[in-house]
Structure 1
Amino acid sequence: MEWETLPFFISDHEGFHGTIKTSPKDFVVTEIDIHGQLVTDPNIQGTQTKTVYQGTIKDVKSKQTQPDEIDISNQDCIDLNVILNPSVRKELEHFTNKIRAKTSPCEGEQENMELSLGTFADKNLRAVVHRAVRQTFPFLQTVTNQSEIRVREDQDFKDLSKLSSEGEAEEFFRFIDAKVPGSAFTFLPDHSKEHRTSVHHFVSLRFGKLVETKSFTDQNKTSITVRLRDKSKQPKKRGIADCQEEEVTYTAFTLQKENLETLEAISYMAVVLGVLPSDFTYAGIKDKKAVTYQSMVVKKISPEQLLEKVADFDRRGMKISRIHPVFEPLKLGRLQGNHFELVIRDLKPHGKHELAMLEELIREAVEHVKNCGFVNYYGPQRFGSRTCVQADRIGLALLKEEMETSVKLFFTPEDGDNLQNKAKQHFLLTGNAKESLALMPAYKARERLMLRALHRYGSGREGCTRSWLSLPHAMRLFYLHSYCSRVWNEAAAYRLQKLGFKAVQGDLVWSGSKRGCKNTTEDELNAPQVQVVTAEEEMDDVFSLEQVILTMPGNNVKYPENLVGKWYEDRLAKDGLGSCRFRVNPLKLNIPGCYRPLLAKPQTITYSFRTAEESQTTGESLMTGQSDEPCAPSLSLEFDLDASCYATVCLREIMKYHVS
C-alpha cells in the first residue's frame, strides 16, 4: 500500500490545498532530547566532567576452540617424527590419506574428521607442533583447546584448490604460514581475467588483513603476485588489560544541516576528521530537504580536534555547535521527539469553497487535529526517496537473506540521466564495481562504500554481504525497519477498516496507565508492558482508540488476538516470512520489534495565517525565489511530535491532502 493511497482520516473537517518544502527553510526540524530540551537550547550545559570511566570490553572470546594464530616464523621447521610419538604419527598419516582420498569417515568418527594429536603443556612446544603440521600438511588446520591440539581439513585450502592445482595451493599456504617479512608468492600465469578476478577475491576475502594482491604482465603472460603487508601498517593485537585501561574518547555536538542527507553529512565529516562513518552515532535520521538540528556523537575525536575542523564543515553548509565530551555513543531512538517550524505556501480551499473561507478552514483543521490527533502512519521518508525501488523492498530481500538480490535492488537506477544513475546502470549491466565507482559522484556515500566492498570481495553472495557490512549498523537497520514500517502502515489501515474507531476485544493496549512513545525508545517497548483487551473491557469502554497500539514485526513481540493478528500472519507469509526469526546473522542485525500507538497528537501547536497581501508585504516571494509570480496565502505552523512520528503525516490530516 503506497503512501498516496493510505486510507482513513480521524477528523471530518474539510482541509485545504498547499505546498510544503518550497525551500529547505520552509521545513525546520529541531530534535528534542530525552530531557525534553531542544538541542539548540543555549541554556543547556555544554560540558561534562568525567569522573570514573566505565570501559566496556566487547567481543572478548571465551576459551573455546579457535584456529591458532601464533607467529613462529623465526623457528625452524621440525620433523614431525621427532615431536610426535610413533602411534600418533601413524594416525596422522592415516588421517591425511583419508582426506586426500576424499573417503567417508569410519563409523564412530566425527563427521568433520578431526584428529587429536594429544596435549602439550608447554606453550612453545605447542607452537612448534602447529608450525610443523602446517608446513608438512598445508591442507590441514590446527586448533587448540586448552592444551590439546587437534587437526582437521582446512576449508580455505579446499576452496583454493578449486581455483588452482593442489601443489600450487600447498605452496601458497606454506607462504602464508611462514609470514616472512618482505616475501611474495606468484601464481602461475593465467590468461583468463575472470579466473584471475576469482583468485583476487578469494585471497582478499580470506587473507586481506595479512597480504595484498596485484596482477602483473610479463611477455604477454599475466600472473597474480601476493605480497605480505608491511607489519608496521597492520593493527597490533592488544590484550584485555590494554582494552580495560584505554579510555575511548567520545565527543558530542549539535549538527545543523540544510538540504543534505544525514549519511551524506556523516560521510563528509568522517573524511575531514579521518575516522569511519560508523564512528558517528545519532538518535535519528532527519529530512534531506529541510534545515535540521540534531545531536551526534563521534568516537575517537576530542572536542579540540572537532573545533579545529568547524571551518571545513561550514564550507559544506554544515554548522557545528555545543561541542562537549561525553561518556558513550548515542543510541538510535534516544530522543523525546522533534520540534517543527513549517511554512505551507500556495494555499487554496478544496472544491467549491471561496478563498475568503480559507482562514476559517485552517482554524477548524488545526483545532480538530489538536484535539483528535491523526493516524500514526509512517511517513514517506521512512521508505526513502526512491521511485523505482523503495527501501522496504530492499529490507524484505535482506530479511530473506537474498544478498545478491538486495544489492541489485539497491543499485536499480531511478528515472533521469544523472551520473549516479549512469553508475548504477553500468554496475547492473557489467558487474564491474571498479568502473562504476569511478562514475559514482563523490557525495553518494552509501553507493561508494558498497562499490568499494564489491570491488574488493566480488559480487557473489559473500561479496554482497561484505558490501552491506561496509555501511554503518544504523543504516543497515534502516532497510529492515522500512519493511516493518510498511507492514505496520497496512496493518493500521486494515485495523481501522475492519474494527472501526473504538478499542475492541483482542486489541493490544499499554498495561496500567496510558503509554505513548514519549520518553521510551523502540527497544524498550516490549511485551511485558502490553495487555490484551477483553470482551468485558470492550463492553464497558475501558479503553479508547487513542490507547490502542499495533505491533511492529519482530522476534520479541506479541500480536493482536483478533482478526488483525491473523492478518499479520497472512501478510508475512505472503512475503515469504512465515517462519522468519527477524535476525540477519550475516549482517549482525536483530529486529526485536516494538509497539506503536495507532494514533498520535501534536503538542503545543500554534499557527499564523498570512493573506496574499500580507505575504507580499513581507517579501515572501523573494525568499522563495519566485519574485515574478504574485504571492499566495501562506500558513506558518509550529508543533512538537513524539519520536518516530512524522510531520508530513500530521499535515496530511490537517490538510486532508497527501503531502510529501
Structure 2
Amino acid sequence: MKQDGDAASGLPVCFVSSHEGFLGSIKKLIKDFVVTEIDIHGQQVNTAASAPAPHCSEEVSSRCKEEAEEHHAFSADCRFDLTISSPDSLDLSMILGQAVSEQLEQFVVSLRDDVMEDEGETPGNKELSLGSFTDKYQRANVHRAVRHRFPFLMTVTIQPEIRVREDPDYRELSQLVTEEEAEDFFRFIDAKVQDSSYTFHPDENKEHRTAVHHFLNRRFGKLVETKSFGEQERTAISVRLRERGRPKKRTADERREEDVYTAFTLCKENLETLEAISYMAATLGVLPSDFTYAGIKDKRAVTYQSMVVKKVLPQRLMEKRAEFEKRGMRLSQIRSVAEPLTLGRLQGNHFDLVVRNVRPHAVDDAHTSAEKQRHIASLVEEALENVKARGFVNYYGPQRFGTGQGVQSDHVGLALLQEDMVTAVRLFFSPEDGDDPPSQAKRHFLQTDNAKESLALMPVSKARERLMLRALNRYGTGPEGCAKAWLSLPHGMRVFYPHAYCSRVWNEAVAHRLATLGHGVRQGDLVWMQGVVDNMDDNEESSTAKVHVVTEREEQQGVYSLAQVLLPMPGNTVKYPENAMGMWYRERLARDGLESCRFRVGSLKMNLPGCYRPMLANLCNLRYQLQTKEEGAGGGEVLTLNFDLDSSCYATICLREIMKCDP
C-alpha cells in the first residue's frame, strides 16, 4: 500500500499496488473514451439483441420489482436519482428557442413590475406570442410547462399560435392568500389529479375565510368543493376536486399512446445524459420524467446506454432520429417493451480507452528508441497485471464533486447538512476563475445580492442557477428566501450536494483505513455475510441484517478478504465499524459540526439513509495493446485499454491506480 498525500484532483493518494506506473493523457479526443452500458443479462447494450425486454422472465421481473422497491433517496450502490420529475426543470429554451424563452422571461418581469406599480389593481391586457406549433404534442407540452413554471400566466391557443397573458383569477386569489399558496393552488387545479386535495394555511379570520370560499366557488365551483376544518386559529380551508362521474372514454389511439413504452439505445457524444433527455422531451412533446434509464453517463465521452420513453410510439421515435443526430445523439434498437427502466438496473459498464503519449514518471536513461519502448512496455505490463490481480481503491471519482470548480459540490452539501442555507447559496454561486457569462452572473450576485440583475446576466442554458435566482428574486436572500431557492430545484438536484459531501467523507475514510489498519481484515470491520450476493441496500432492516461485524476469531483465522470489507457512507440507517474506524467517523463528522446530525433536512425534504460501499473494486475482461504511433498520428506510445467495471465504479479511478497519477 502506498500513500503520498493529496493529488491535484483533491482525492487521497492511496494505492493497493506498489508498481511504478507511468504518465499519459486521456480524453485527448472524445472518441478516446467510449463507455458502453452492460445490461442485467451481461450484454453490452450496443450489441445486445433487441428481442429481450425488461420483462423477459418471471424471475427477472420479480428481481427488477424488488430493486425498484428498494431504490429510495440513496440507491442500492449509492448512486443518486437525477431524473427530472417536473416541468420546472424542463429548459423552455429547448421548446421555444432561446430568443422566445428570453422574451417570456422579460414578459414575466414586466408583469411583476406592473403589479408593484399598480399595487394590486386590475391587471392590464399585456400578451406575448410564443409562436406557432403545428405539432399537437409540442403544443400540449408548451401549455403544461409554461403553466407549471408560471402559474400566474394563462396560455391560449389560436391554432397553431400560442399566446400568454396574466391570469386575472390568479391576480384576484393572490390578494386573498400568499403568492406561494396561489401558485400551488393553480398547479393543483392544472394537474386535475382525481381524488386529490389542496389545503391553504390556517386562517383564524372567519370573514377572510368566507371571502376565499366565495372566490373559489365563484371561479372554480364546477371543478372543486371547499370546506373549513380545525378549531379556532388552526382552522384551514381544504379544496377537493369534484368527482367527475364516469371517466371519459379514451380513443384507441389515446390508449395506445398513453400505455406504450418504447425502448432504445442512445449513443451520445460530448453531451450530458440529462441534457440529451431534455432535448428529446422537448422535441417529442413529453416531459423529461417520461424517460427512464439505468444510469448517468459521462459527458466528455462517447457513451451507449439503454433508455425507455413512455407515451411515444416506436414509429414516432424513428421519425425523429435524423433530428436527434444533429444534436450528437444516435438512436438504435428502437422497439416496444412492457415497462420502464429503473435506475441501477445494469451490471456495469464496458470501457474502450486510449491513453496517449505514454512515458515513464522518471527521466528515461535508455539510449536507443528500442530500449525506451521496451522500458515503457515493461512499466505498462507490470501496472496492468498488478491491478488485474489486486484491484484498486474504490474511490468516488472527481466528477462526483464537480471538476474544475472553485468551490466543489461537497462544500455546498456540508452547508446544507448544517442547515446554513445562506452559506450554501453563496457557495453554490461561487464563480470560476474565468470571465465567462455564468461566472460574471455569479460574481454579480455575490457582489450586489441582486438576484434580478444576476438572472438577466445568467445564460438560459444554466437551468439550476436560473431556478435559484428566480426564487431568490421572489423571496429574498435571507435564510427563508435561500431555503425556498433550494426548494425550487427538483429533489434529485438538491440531494446531489449532501451526497457529494458524504462521498468525500467516504473517500477520506478508505484512505485512512488502509493507511492505519493495513490490508488485513481486522476485528470490528464490516463485511457482507457469506452467501449474500446482493449489492448495497438503503433499507435499514435489510441492509443491517446483511452486514456482519468481524470477530476476533474471524480475524485470526482469516475468514474474510479485504475485497469483502465495506465502509459506510454516512447516513441515518447505517452502522459504523466497531474498531478505530468507528471513532474516526465520529471525529470526522464532529470536525464539520455534524456530531449530532440526523442526516435529514426537513426544510428541504431531504433524507439521507446512507449505504455501504466495498473498499476495493476489480476490473474484468482486461485487454490491452501498446503501439508506437508515427509523429503525424499524434506521436509516442499509445496504450489501448478494454475492460469492464461494476456499476458505480469509476474508470478514471482505475486508471489512477494503474498509472499512479491523475490521468
The TM-score bracket by the shorter chain reads 0.5 to 0.7
CA distance in 1, matches of 2:313, 2:605: 29
Give 1:579's aligned residue: 596
| 8 Å Cα contact 2:568-2:613 kept in structure 1 | yes
Paired amino acid for 1:550: L
Match among 621, 642, 658 for residue 646 of structure 2: 642
Give 2:453's aligned residue: 435
Check if 1:331 corresponds to 2:347: no
Match among 341, 344, 351 for residue 355 of structure 2: 344
CA distance in 1, matches of 2:451, 2:177: 16
Give 1:372's aligned residue: 390
Give 2:530's aligned residue: 512
Instruction: Evaluate the alpha carbon distance shift between residue 50 and residue 345 of structure 1 in structure 2; reply closer, same or farther with a 3 A threshold.
Output: closer
Check if 1:416 corresponds to 2:434: yes
Match among 606, 626, 638 for residue 623 of structure 2: 606
| 8 Å Cα contact 1:47-1:324 kept in structure 2 | no
Give 2:568's aligned residue: 551
Paired amino acid for 1:208: E
| 8 Å Cα contact 2:54-2:339 kept in structure 1 | no
Instruction: Evaluate the alpha carbon distance shift between residue 350 and residue 328 of structure 1 in structure 2; reply closer, same or farther with a 3 A threshold.
Output: same
Q: Deviations over 1:427-474 (max 9, x none)?
A: 333344443333222332332333344445544445444443444433
Give 1:204's aligned residue: 179
CA distance in 2, matches of 1:310, 1:537: 58
CA distance in 2, matches of 1:478, 1:268: 22
Shift of 1:266: 2.8
RMSD between aligned alpha carbons? 4.0
Check if 1:295 corresponds to 2:299: no
Shift of 1:202: 8.1
Match among 425, 435, 438 for residue 443 of structure 2: 425
Match among 627, 638, 656 for residue 660 of structure 2: 656
| 8 Å Cα contact 1:50-1:327 kept in structure 2 | no
Paired amino acid for 1:648: T
CA distance in 2, matches of 1:590, 1:35: 32
Shift of 1:51: 13
Deviates more, 1:47-56 or 1:508-517: 47-56
| 8 Å Cα contact 1:449-1:470 kept in structure 2 | yes
Give 1:273's aligned residue: 284
| 8 Å Cα contact 2:574-2:611 kept in structure 1 | yes
User: What secondary structure sits across from 1:45 in the alignment?
Assistant: coil
| 8 Å Cα contact 1:395-1:482 kept in structure 2 | yes
Paired amino acid for 2:18: D
Deviates more, 1:1-10 or 1:391-400: 1-10
Shift of 1:388: 1.0
Instruction: Evaluate the alpha carbon distance shift between residue 589 and residue 184 of structure 1 in structure 2; reply closer, same or farther with a 3 A threshold.
Output: closer
Instruction: Evaluate the alpha carbon distance shift between residue 547 and residue 460 of structure 1 in structure 2; reply closer, same or farther with a 3 A threshold.
Output: same
Check if 1:22 corresponds to 2:28: yes
CA distance in 2, matches of 1:201, 1:632: 73
Deviates more, 1:360-369 or 1:238-247: 238-247
- The structure with higher relative contact order (CA 8 Å, sep 6+) is 2
CA distance in 2, matches of 1:480, 1:427: 23
Give 2:321's aligned residue: 310
Shift of 1:405: 2.4
Instruction: Evaluate the alpha carbon distance shift between residue 358 and residue 311 of structure 1 in structure 2; reply closer, same or farther with a 3 A threshold.
Output: same
Percent identity over the alignment?
A: 56
CA distance in 2, matches of 1:560, 1:373: 22
Give 2:202's aligned residue: none
User: What secondary structure sits across from 2:622 in the alignment?
Assistant: strand
| 8 Å Cα contact 2:55-2:338 kept in structure 1 | no
Give 2:637's aligned residue: 633
Paired amino acid for 1:340: F
Instruction: Evaluate the alpha carbon distance shift between residue 548 and residue 51 of structure 1 in structure 2; reply closer, same or farther with a 3 A threshold.
Output: closer
Paired amino acid for 1:604: N
Match among 8, 12, 20 for residue 14 of structure 2: 8
CA distance in 2, matches of 1:327, 1:256: 22
Give 1:444's aligned residue: 462
Instruction: Evaluate the alpha carbon distance shift between residue 347 and residue 567 of structure 1 in structure 2; reply closer, same or farther with a 3 A threshold.
Output: same
Instruction: Evaluate the alpha carbon distance shift between residue 230 and residue 551 of structure 1 in structure 2; reply closer, same or farther with a 3 A threshold.
Output: same
Give 1:626's aligned residue: none
Give 1:285's aligned residue: 296
Give 1:44's aligned residue: 50
Paired amino acid for 1:560: P
TM-score scaled by length of structure 1: 0.67
Unaligned residue ranges in structure 1 (runs of 5+):
57-163, 170-180, 188-198, 213-225, 622-630
| 8 Å Cα contact 1:278-1:472 kept in structure 2 | no
| 8 Å Cα contact 1:31-1:38 kept in structure 2 | yes
| 8 Å Cα contact 2:574-2:609 kept in structure 1 | yes
CA distance in 1, matches of 2:479, 2:649: 36
| 8 Å Cα contact 2:346-2:647 kept in structure 1 | yes
Give 2:331's aligned residue: 320
Give 2:580's aligned residue: 563
